[in-house]
Amino acid sequence: MLSAGDAPEIHHTVECPRRRRATDFAQCCGCPSMGSIDISEDGKHGSVDCMATESLLPHGRVDVAEAAARVRLGELMGVDTTCVRSDVRADVVADLLVRDKLRAVPVVDEARHLIGIVTKTDLLRSGRRRSAKTVADIMTPLLHGLPEEAPVAYAISLMAFGALQEVPVVDKNAKVIGLVTSTDALRWVARSLGYIIPAPQPV
């Protein structure tokens, strides 16, 4: 999470073979499929022995509508989501989006509760004098975040209805834990239809 004047908070993630995406380390520790964890002496590296033998995402050609109602957002999203505070300068966020090849970042309060989102469109509308503006001046406020237990169909419907490119995902305490994009949804649909889609490359 990026905030004005503070060092970024780092949330450790691991690659989950069941979800085929990065998963929060603490969430991995609570998964029944986790076998063991091997951490290096410096605490910076480690590996997880996962007992899962197959992904929760559907394989082969399936009924997309049925699968979309069954598969949960927590199985689709990436949880290594960058968030920003409302007091961050707009030009800093613009540089962040370009550097990390992002289309949007959720805006959160001190408790990481969702209060809005900043997209590339918001930045374009803000004009050239971004250094004089903060995230609070340009963000789209009061977005709906979907719970990680919600089906993929909810996110697809919300993006289609609201012409959105991304939907924040929140935990039971309403804290942002991930972001599902329209590209994530399209990749999932393509895989459900039996197409081989390469995994997204890390930034």
Three-state SS letters, 84-151: EECCCEHHHHHHHHHHHCCCEEEEECCCCEEEEEEEHHHHHHCCCCHHHCEHHHHCEECCCCEECCCE
- Of 53-62, 74-83, 185-194, the one with minimum mean pLDDT is 53-62
What is the rounded radius of gyration, in angstroms, for the C-alpha atoms of the chain? Answer: 18
d(CA 94, CA 102): 10
5 or 70: whose pLDDT is higher?
Answer: 70
* CATH numeric code, 58-192: 3.10.580.10
Q: What is the pLDDT of residue 131?
A: 78
Tens of pLDDT along 91-137?
999 999 999 888 899 999 999 999 999 999 999 888 777 778 999 99
Q: Which residues contact 172 (CB under 8 A, 6 or more apart)?
A: 147
Q: Write the DSSP assignment of 45-70 as a string of letters.
A: -EEEEE---S-SS--SB--HHHHHHH
Burial 54-70 (b: 16+ CB within 10 A, else e): eebbbeeebebeebbee
Q: 49 falls in which pLDDT band (50, 70, 90)?
A: confident
196 or 121: whose pLDDT is higher?
Answer: 121
Residue 29 has pLDDT above 90, yes or no: no
d(CA 51, CA 55): 11
d(CA 179, CA 104): 9
Q: 21 falls in which pLDDT band (50, 70, 90)?
A: low
Do 117 and 105 meet the contact criterion of CB atoms below 8 Å apart?
Answer: yes
Looking at the chain, the domain(s) classified CATH 3.10.580.10 span 58-192
Q: What is the pLDDT of residue 95?
A: 93
Burial 101-112 (b: 16+ CB within 10 A, else e): ebebbbbbeeeb
Tens of pLDDT along 130-183?
778 999 999 998 777 899 899 999 999 999 998 889 999 998 888 999 889 899
